Amino acid sequence: MKRLAVYCGSATPEDPVYIACARTVGRTLAERGIGVVYGGGRLGLMGAVADSALAAGGEVIGVIPEALCGPEVAHQGLSELHTVAGMHQRKQMFTDLSDGFLTIPGGTGTMDELWEAMSWAQLGYHAKPVGLWNVAGFYDGLIDFVGTMGAVGFLRPVHQGILLHDDDLDRLLGRMEAYRPHKPIFQMSREEL
């Protein structure tokens, strides 16, 4: 993996565990020689990921929609900062520039990015690993919900391994590096669907 898209919040929660995890992600990826592709902001977890990766000598590429480009939001000290028309172009560029997707705590926008990465993997628009770092149990409910989708039958057995999740970042990155793509819907026969 040469670059990972990192999905996370632009907010700064009171509990310092979240900013600490963002800093750990930026530093760890830079130390491993993995570039960061992210939302291009300087605030919250986004800014912490970018700043820690840059401080550790890493490559950081931001992709930000025009509407969020004001100087109070956009990070001006990145390796590259791409301005795009909107969210659809932003997520496409994340996919084009990265070798996988790593989600850490965040809100609605983070969920949008994660679900699209999972959906596109299931369909076959990409064959890249989708990782979720479950910091402090933040994603316990989401992990349970993905299990429920599989148990009920809305997530085919062959696709139940798309979301790689762990509470240990190093272990998760190892699983992402070892990821072998599943059979996407676009390649399935009618009988398999």
Whether 83 is covered by a domain: the verdict is yes
Confidence bin at 72 (pLDDT 50/70/90): low
CA 189 to chain centre: 30
Mean pLDDT computed over 100-117: 97
Average pLDDT, integer, range 136-163? 97
pTM metric for this prediction: 0.96
What residue numbers bound the domain in which 82 lies? 3-187
In a domain, 85, yes or no: yes
Number of folded domains that form the chain: 1
Cβ burial of 84 (10 Å; 0-12, 13-18, 19+) is middle
DSSP 62: E
Contact call for residues 101 and 129 (beta carbons, < 8 A): yes
Report the alpha-carbon distance of residue 70 to residue 67 in Å, rounded.
8
What integer pLDDT is reported at residue 99 of this predicted model? Answer: 98
Q: How many CB atoms lie within 10 A of CB 74?
A: 19
Q: Is residue 193 included in any domain, yes or no?
A: no
Q: What would the mean pLDDT of 154-159 be, rounded to a whole number?
A: 95
Q: How far apart are CA 36 and CA 79, in angstroms?
A: 10
Residue 192 inside a domain? The answer is: no
Q: What is the CATH number for 75?
A: 3.40.50.450
pLDDT tens sequence across 80-95:
999 999 999 999 999 9
In the predicted model, is pLDDT for residue 77 greater than 90? yes
Higher pLDDT, 191 or 168: 168
Q: How confident is the model at residue 68 (pLDDT cuts 50, 70, 90)?
A: confident
Q: Is the pLDDT of residue 104 over 70?
A: yes
Mean residue pLDDT across the chain: 96
Mean pLDDT along residues 9-19: 97
Structure confidence at residue 152 as a pLDDT band (50, 70, 90): very high
**What's the rounded mean pLDDT across residues 156-175?**
97
Indicate whether 76 belongs to any domain.
yes
